Protein backbone atom coordinates (compact mmCIF):
# COMPACT_ATOMS: atom_id res chain seq x y z
CA UNK A 1 0.00 0.00 0.00
CA UNK A 2 2.83 2.44 0.72
CA UNK A 3 3.09 5.57 2.78
CA UNK A 4 0.51 8.34 2.61
CA UNK A 5 1.50 11.35 0.52
CA UNK A 6 3.04 14.16 2.49
CA UNK A 7 1.24 17.48 2.18
CA UNK A 8 2.21 20.89 3.49
CA UNK A 9 0.09 23.27 5.50
CA UNK A 10 -0.73 26.77 4.28
CA UNK A 11 1.68 28.12 6.90
CA UNK A 12 4.47 25.88 5.61
CA UNK A 13 3.78 27.02 2.05
CA UNK A 14 4.02 30.68 3.13
CA UNK A 15 7.25 29.85 4.93
CA UNK A 16 8.66 28.24 1.78
CA UNK A 17 8.02 31.48 -0.10
CA UNK A 18 9.95 33.46 2.51
CA UNK A 19 12.78 30.93 2.77
CA UNK A 20 13.19 30.63 -1.01
CA UNK A 21 14.82 34.05 -1.00
CA UNK A 22 17.83 32.71 0.90
CA UNK A 23 17.75 28.90 0.86
CA UNK A 24 17.84 26.27 -1.86
CA UNK A 25 15.33 23.39 -2.03
CA UNK A 26 17.53 20.99 -0.07
CA UNK A 27 17.97 23.50 2.74
CA UNK A 28 14.25 24.26 2.83
CA UNK A 29 13.48 20.54 3.04
CA UNK A 30 15.94 20.22 5.94
CA UNK A 31 14.27 23.18 7.66
CA UNK A 32 10.80 21.64 7.27
CA UNK A 33 12.13 18.26 8.33
CA UNK A 34 11.51 16.24 5.18
CA UNK A 35 13.85 14.67 2.62
CA UNK A 36 14.64 16.91 -0.33
CA UNK A 37 13.22 14.32 -2.74
CA UNK A 38 9.92 14.56 -0.87
CA UNK A 39 9.89 18.34 -1.23
CA UNK A 40 10.62 18.02 -4.95
CA UNK A 41 7.77 15.49 -5.29
CA UNK A 42 5.40 17.82 -3.45
CA UNK A 43 6.43 20.72 -5.69
CA UNK A 44 5.80 18.57 -8.77
CA UNK A 45 2.26 17.64 -7.77
CA UNK A 46 1.21 20.79 -5.85
CA UNK A 47 1.18 23.94 -7.95
CA UNK A 48 0.71 26.13 -4.86
CA UNK A 49 3.98 24.94 -3.33
CA UNK A 50 5.86 25.27 -6.60
CA UNK A 51 4.46 28.76 -7.19
CA UNK A 52 5.35 29.85 -3.64
CA UNK A 53 8.96 28.72 -4.12
CA UNK A 54 9.22 30.47 -7.50
CA UNK A 55 7.63 33.65 -6.14
CA UNK A 56 10.08 33.77 -3.25
CA UNK A 57 13.07 33.29 -5.55
CA UNK A 58 11.78 35.84 -8.05
CA UNK A 59 11.15 38.50 -5.39
CA UNK A 60 14.67 38.09 -4.00
CA UNK A 61 16.28 38.20 -7.44
CA UNK A 62 14.27 41.31 -8.27
CA UNK A 63 15.37 43.11 -5.11
CA UNK A 64 19.03 42.25 -5.60
CA UNK A 65 18.91 43.18 -9.29
CA UNK A 66 17.31 46.49 -8.45
CA UNK A 67 20.05 47.22 -5.89
CA UNK A 68 22.72 46.24 -8.44
CA UNK A 69 21.28 48.58 -11.05
CA UNK A 70 21.10 51.41 -8.52
CA UNK A 71 24.76 50.83 -7.68
CA UNK A 72 25.70 50.82 -11.36
CA UNK A 73 23.75 54.03 -11.98
CA UNK A 74 25.47 55.62 -9.00
CA UNK A 75 28.84 55.04 -10.68
CA UNK A 76 29.95 51.79 -9.02
CA UNK A 77 32.30 50.47 -11.70
CA UNK A 78 32.30 46.92 -10.34
CA UNK A 79 28.50 46.83 -10.48
CA UNK A 80 28.59 48.21 -14.02
CA UNK A 81 31.07 45.58 -15.20
CA UNK A 82 29.18 42.76 -13.47
CA UNK A 83 25.90 43.85 -15.01
CA UNK A 84 27.36 44.17 -18.50
CA UNK A 85 29.06 40.78 -18.27
CA UNK A 86 25.93 38.98 -17.07
CA UNK A 87 23.28 40.86 -19.02
CA UNK A 88 24.94 42.32 -22.10
CA UNK A 89 27.32 39.51 -23.01
CA UNK A 90 30.48 41.44 -22.29
CA UNK A 91 33.53 39.33 -21.58
CA UNK A 92 37.19 39.75 -20.95
CA UNK A 93 39.58 38.55 -23.59
CA UNK A 94 42.50 36.69 -22.16
CA UNK A 95 45.64 37.46 -24.11
CA UNK A 96 48.47 35.02 -23.82
CA UNK A 97 52.04 36.21 -23.57
CA UNK A 98 52.80 34.55 -26.89
CA UNK A 99 50.55 36.91 -28.80
CA UNK A 100 52.12 39.95 -30.35
CA UNK A 101 50.52 42.99 -28.80
CA UNK A 102 52.31 45.78 -30.58
CA UNK A 103 50.73 49.13 -29.91
CA UNK A 104 49.33 50.64 -33.06
CA UNK A 105 49.81 54.29 -33.87
CA UNK A 106 46.57 56.14 -34.17
CA UNK A 107 46.40 59.47 -35.90
CA UNK A 108 43.72 61.80 -34.60
CA UNK A 109 42.74 64.74 -36.70
CA UNK A 110 40.82 67.55 -35.07
CA UNK A 111 38.32 69.00 -37.46
CA UNK A 112 36.54 72.25 -36.90
CA UNK A 113 33.04 71.80 -38.28
CA UNK A 114 32.64 75.57 -38.76
CA UNK A 115 35.45 75.74 -41.35
CA UNK A 116 34.11 72.95 -43.54
103 is a domain residue = no
Could you give the angle at which helices 47-73 and 10-19 cross, rounded to 10 degrees? 30
Contacts of 90 (CB under 8 A, 6+ apart): 81, 84
37 is a domain residue = yes
66 is a domain residue = yes
107 is a domain residue = no
Residue 91: predicted pLDDT: 87
2 is a domain residue = no
CA atoms within 13 A on the CB side of 66: 6
Residue 114: predicted pLDDT: 66
79 is a domain residue = yes
Per-residue pLDDT of the chain (116 residues), as tens digits, is 678 889 999 999 999 999 999 999 999 999 999 999 999 999 999 999 999 999 999 999 999 999 999 999 999 999 999 999 999 999 887 666 656 667 777 676 766 666 65
62 is a domain residue = yes
Residue 59: predicted pLDDT: 97
Query: Is the pTM above the cut of 0.85?
Result: no
Residue 113: predicted pLDDT: 61
27 is a domain residue = yes
How many distinct structural domains can be found in the chain? 1
Cα–Cα distance measured from residue 2 to residue 84, given in angstroms and rounded to the nearest whole number: 52
Contacts of 112 (CB under 8 A, 6+ apart): none
Domain residue limits at 23: 10-91
Report the sign of the C-alpha dihedral through residues 44, 46, 49, 54, in that order.
Answer: positive
Amino acid sequence: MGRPRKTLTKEQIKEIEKLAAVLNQTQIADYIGIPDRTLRAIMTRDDDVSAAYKRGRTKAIGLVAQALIQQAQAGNTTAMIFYLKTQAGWRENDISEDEDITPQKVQIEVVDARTR
